[in-house]
Structure 1
Amino acid sequence: MCSCISVLPSSPASTNPLTVCTLLFPITPSLHLAPRIIVVYHKNTNVYPLRCRGRHLGGGSVMETAGTGVHRSGGVNHGRSDRLGIIGFGAIGRRLASFFATTEDGPRTLALLVRDHQRDAASALVPGAQVCTDIEGFLEAVPTVAVECASASALGTYGPRLLEASCDLIPLSLGAFADRATERRLLEAAARGPGRLEIAAGALGSIGFLAAAREHDLDRVTITIGYPIERWRVMGAERFIDLDQVRSPTPFLESDARNVATLFPGNLNVVTGASLAGLGLDRTHVALVADPTVTQAWFQVEASSASGPVRMHIGGRDAAVDADPIDYTTFSIIRLLKRRCASLAI
């Protein structure tokens, strides 16, 4: 095949937001390079995100300022090449937006998808971001990665559209996967791409050991979750236990992860995250514990594979039951986002 690079135009077409150029590279047995790479210029963002056979490769491989007529390819751009979109403006959404609005270490917050009554607060928090109240406006900002921290409904509705639009997606409302139809729709959309799903460890802090164990005959995963009495009460656990009679840590429900996530929608995302990393929702065992001795949640993960047993315990901080837990969830997302453009990826 021919080996050539098309020179990008010195200025974008004024009547068309997209200017497409084709790059052709040779294919060799040792280098499985795609024969066709499309570079798309978007006039609203002045960048050329790279797509290869429909797969979005991110701004780290190709990035250009409009009007230069020059691009670079190959290697990895460790600067702020990712363009971050955040869906949801609750505690986690605000914390992420604020963090990436003030740090140079990670992606730039480009777009926020919020409710109507949150527009002014979002604009004040991140003045340079595009604040949207509908998914169409959010997609027009062309984020390369989006964090969903809104709801399971939002994930199920917006997830496939984001993935189809070449936007990688880091979902937090993982309870959406408990519904088989939604799980299938999201996984099929990720398989088609060009965007991909990236699952964060969330409140567990780490799930990499489960993904590693899966490569070596992982055969058992048990997740035990302990919450204070008042938190279980708010979540409706009195369907299963008389919480007023609990004087010591008391298990009250054991089941598979899919059933538990269905019984407590929107509250036990750690169950789904660990299940996706390991054996899946139907083969992961979950035990729920009402614990009057703590004020914040604790988690324990036990797994067994051919590499040996693993046991991990994550304790909650000392804070009031109704306080913002400020657990590992936000910081696991920050780590993922910073890792995407880090020179040393851990």
Structure 2
Amino acid sequence: MKIGLIGAGAIGQYLLKYINGKHHEKMEITSVLVRDFDKYANLQKEYRVKLYTDIDEFIDSEIDIIVEAANVSVAVDLLPKIIKRKEVMLISVGALANQETLKLVGQSDNRTLHLPSGAIGGLDLIQNAKGLGNLDSVSLTTRKPALSLIDELPDKEMIVFEGPASEAIDKYPKNMNVSIVLSLAGLGMEHTKVTLIADPNVDKNIHTIHATGNFGEMELTVKNVPLLENPKTSSLAALSVFSTLERLAEKVKIG
């Protein structure tokens, strides 16, 4: 499987390292779209890729799927165009908080938008329960180091937001990507309850998902270790992208 990569930041270079750098037998990154050619020119020799700065030339290159690993604004700008011509994996899922973008994606013919699970888990169970209307409630409690959310360190944990995912995404666009994926897998942005906590006693992001329905009840907590290359990105988020690509390349698929 030949992959086109948009962006060469922390996750982009993680993928280059573990796919091309380790000579993966079933997939290869062949094309990389960047804004600054000179800044990333060394990637061509190090990872045997071709760099592009023109979006049309990039899309027309010999690739089977495009992985967006840039940022939300780039994703909002480019997604409507690239989804018309290629399969896409979207990492900056915050782009889907934009209803127009979500609508355009839904109108794309015969192209699939793949969303990795990112920094959380349990999405397979939630999708299974949702399938026959057996899902009653879904909530997400996210606990983050206090100073990543507020300016002054509080004496104790502080709830900075409580409400539907749609409002959480609007108020905290850089902190609530996981709520978008969870909402799309489950009951939607209006019916997914989100609680965001600034906690002076934690040093990592902690996500707890609670879901109920006819199937029973689920509670899952994930404590994310930061990615070594970029502490602002969770290691699990990068792993989920790599794992999703591997599953696409496999003949036997689970779930």
Q: TM-score, normalised by structure 1?
A: 0.67
Instruction: Write the distance in 1 (CA, Å) between the matches of 2:251 and 2:34.
Output: 32
Q: Deviations over 1:66-105 (max 9, x none)?
A: xxxxxxxxxxxxxxxx211111111001101221102324
Structure 1 residue 110 and structure 2 residue 27: aligned? no
Other-structure match for 1:226 = 143
Helix, strand or coil at the partner of 1:94: helix
Structure 1 residue 126 and structure 2 residue 47: aligned? yes
Q: Deviations over 1:144-173 (max 9, x none)?
A: 1111111222222221222211x2111011
Other-structure match for 2:166 = 258
Task: Return the letter of the residue paired with 2:40.
Answer: R
Matches within 5 A, 1:75-224: 82-101=1-20, 102-116=22-36, 117-127=38-48, 129-165=49-85, 167-189=86-108, 192=109, 194-216=110-132, 217-224=134-141
Return the structure number with greater helix share.
2
Matches within 5 A, 1:67-78: none
Instruction: Write the distance in 2 (CA, Å) between the matches of 1:108 and 1:301.
Output: 34
Q: Deviations over 1:120-140 (max 9, x none)?
A: 14324422x121112112112
Matches within 5 A, 1:262-341: 262-317=170-225, 323=231, 325-341=233-249
Instruction: Write the distance in 2 (CA, Å) between the matches of 1:125 and 1:326.
Output: 25
Q: Deviations over 1:189-240 (max 9, x none)?
A: 2xx2x3211111001144212111211421211011111012113xxxx5xx
Helix, strand or coil at the partner of 1:118: helix
Instruction: Write the distance in 2 (CA, Å) between the matches of 1:130 and 1:254.
Output: 45
Q: Which of 1 and 2 has greater Rg? A: 1
Label 1:98 to 1:257 Cα distance change in 2 as closer, same or farther (>3 A): same
Native 8 Å contact 2:226 2:234 kept in 1: no
**CA shift at 1:184, angstroms?**
1.3
Task: Return the letter of the residue paired with 1:184.
Answer: K
Label 1:253 to 1:113 Cα distance change in 2 as closer, same or farther (>3 A): same
Matches within 5 A, 1:50-69: none
Runs of 4+ in 1 over 6 A off after TM superposition: none
Q: How many residues align?
A: 250
Task: Return the letter of the residue paired with 1:292.
Answer: P
**CA shift at 1:106, angstroms?**
3.4
Instruction: Write the distance in 2 (CA, Å) between the matches of 1:315 and 1:106.
Output: 31
Other-structure match for 1:342 = 250
**CA shift at 1:303, angstroms?**
0.8
Other-structure match for 1:7 = none
Return the structure number with greater strand share.
2
Instruction: Write the distance in 1 (CA, Å) between the matches of 2:5 and 2:206.
Output: 27
Q: Deviations over 1:18-38 (max 9, x none)?
A: xxxxxxxxxxxxxxxxxxxxx
Question: Share of identical aligned residues, percent?
Answer: 24
Task: Return the letter of the residue paired with 2:202.
Answer: V
Helix, strand or coil at the partner of 1:335: helix
Label 1:154 to 1:325 Cα distance change in 2 as closer, same or farther (>3 A): closer
Helix, strand or coil at the partner of 1:203: coil
Q: Which has the higher contact order (CA 8 A, sep 6+)?
A: 2
Task: Return the letter of the residue paired with 1:83.
Answer: K
Native 8 Å contact 2:227 2:235 kept in 1: no
RMSD: 2.1
Structure 1: runs of 5 or more not aligned: 1-81
Instruction: Write the distance in 1 (CA, Å) between the matches of 2:235 and 2:66.
Output: 21
Native 8 Å contact 1:100 1:106 kept in 2: no
Structure 2: runs of 5 or more not aligned: none
